[in-house]
């Protein structure tokens, strides 16, 4: 697989403004399971349902490791599993919660799903994750970019803006490529390692009627499968300084070629900021974000962002050298046109939106071919004309 990586460090006043209101806290749940794990399907269903009930504040990733390996295991899942699980041995189903250490449940971050979700003393995953959700986020995480399906290429910007002092450490920006509902790939190899082993025949027949062969669920849709670690297994080292500066946006740009085995209609990106160290207690996550991979995508843009910026038109990051996000509020039905001109008044690019419905909108513009300098963005909407500027460097 061909991959290329570009890095960029930006300080953005607008990003700081947009994050003036505390960023949303999202807890990363990493479930450990494999196709050979007969106990996993009913427990995975419980984990998935809990995640759905708390979807605004949790992100679920499935690491295919823990009960041997399967067709969805890879070097990254092996490295994460080996770093997280107990030296006493492995088991599944298991889960980590922001990769944190919770000694009242176990001495390692790698927790039993049985113990965690079925703890009658209210000390399980639900209480831990709920507590973490209710804690203020110390860093805001955002993802923006474009996706070229014909070339199977993702161009993404991932950023972290700290809103509180976090002290000195090895802080890292991470980015995972996730594929949802993985069933198997005719013509790309045997289905061995895809069909889900299940010990509970009653549960399997009730939830997947006609697909249980007495041993496995044929065509089982594996959820939230971790495919690639796009910034390395443990994130990019040295990009965020040891002592992050509050209000400074640390941004990474990456171009990634998608493996031909992955289906393009069920992909998403998960980004998170984590601490890294040799011990298990040092590998914890501060905050996370996710976004579906579509032709043009951006995360973390909400009605609150527009209210904080108090502008009909906002642009970030500023300055920029590759992908620039233009967000605006359209209050009336009709077409919107965005025009970018240089300081001489020459039109550099024009974009029109096919979405005529009122609401908050976003557009991701590739400025990598723009000459360095100041540019004016003019937005014409049914509710009026608005302008703003941004710098390419």
| pLDDT, tens digit (0-9, with 9 covering 90-100), for 343-393 | 778 899 998 877 777 777 778 888 888 988 888 899 888 878 888 888 887
Which part of the chain has CATH 2.60.40.2550? Answer: 303-392
Backbone angles phi, psi at 245, to 5 degrees: -90, 125
Taking the C-alpha atoms of residue 16 and residue 308, their distance in angstroms, rounded to an integer, is 11
Provide the pLDDT confidence category of residue 125 given band limits of 50, 70 and 90: low
Query: What pLDDT sits at residue 386?
Result: 85
DSSP state, 243?
S
SS3 content of the chain, % helix, strand, coil (to 5): 15, 35, 45
Query: What pLDDT sits at residue 192?
Result: 63
Q: How far, CA to CA in Å, does 124 sit from each of 84, 99, 113, 150? A: 18, 15, 9, 45
Better pLDDT: 317 or 224: 224
DSSP state, 128?
H
| Topology at the third CATH level for domain 303-392 | Immunoglobulin-like (2.60.40)
What residue has token string 């100041």? Answer: 374
Residue 225 contacts residue 182 (beta carbons within 8 Å) = yes
Segment 98-112 mean pLDDT: 88
């Amino acid at each position: 697989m061909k991959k290329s990586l570009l890095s960029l460090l930006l300080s953005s006043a607008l990003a700081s403004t947009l994050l003036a209101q505390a960023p949303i806290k999202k807890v990363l749940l990493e479930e450990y399971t494999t196709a050979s794990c007969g106990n996993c399907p009913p427990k995975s269903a419980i984990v998935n349902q809990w995640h759905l009930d708390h979807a605004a504040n949790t992100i679920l990733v499935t690491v295919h490791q823990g009960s041997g390996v399967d067709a969805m295991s890879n070097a990254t899942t092996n490295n994460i599993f080996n770093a997280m699980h107990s030296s006493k041995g492995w088991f599944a189903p298991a889960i980590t919660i922001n990769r944190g250490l919770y000694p009242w449940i176990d001495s390692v971050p790698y927790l039993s799903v049985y113990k965690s979700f079925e703890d009658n003393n209210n000390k399980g995953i639900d209480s831990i994750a709920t507590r973490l959700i209710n804690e203020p986020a110390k860093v805001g995480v955002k993802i923006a970019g474009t996706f070229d399906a014909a070339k199977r290429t993702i161009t993404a910007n991932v950023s972290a803006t700290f809103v509180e002092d976090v002290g000195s450490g090895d802080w890292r920006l991470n980015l995972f490529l996730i594929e949802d509902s993985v069933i198997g790939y005719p013509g790309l190899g045997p289905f061995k390692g895809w069909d889900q082993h299940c010990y509970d025949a009653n549960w399997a027949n009730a939830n997947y009627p006609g697909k249980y062969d007495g041993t496995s669920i044929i065509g089982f849709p594996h959820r939230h499968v971790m495919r690639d670690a796009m910034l390395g297994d443990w994130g990019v080292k040295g990009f965020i300084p040891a002592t992050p500066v509050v209000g400074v946006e640390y941004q990474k740009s990456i171009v990634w070629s998608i493996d031909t085995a992955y289906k393009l209609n069920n992909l998403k990106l998960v980004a998170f900021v984590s601490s890294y160290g040799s011990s298990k207690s040092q590998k914890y996550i501060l905050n996370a974000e996710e976004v579906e991979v579509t032709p043009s995508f951006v995360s973390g843009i909400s009605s609150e962002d527009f209210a904080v910026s108090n502008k009909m038109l906002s642009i970030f990051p500023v300055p920029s050298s590759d992908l620039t996000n233009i967000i605006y509020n359209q209050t009336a039905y009709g077409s919107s046109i965005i025009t970018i001109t240089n300081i001489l008044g020459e039109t550099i690019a024009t974009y029109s939106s096919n979405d005529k419905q009122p609401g908050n909108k976003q557009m991701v513009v590739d400025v990598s071919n723009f000459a360095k300098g100041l540019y004016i963005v003019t937005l014409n909407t049914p509710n009026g004309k608005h302008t703003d500027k941004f710098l390419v460097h």
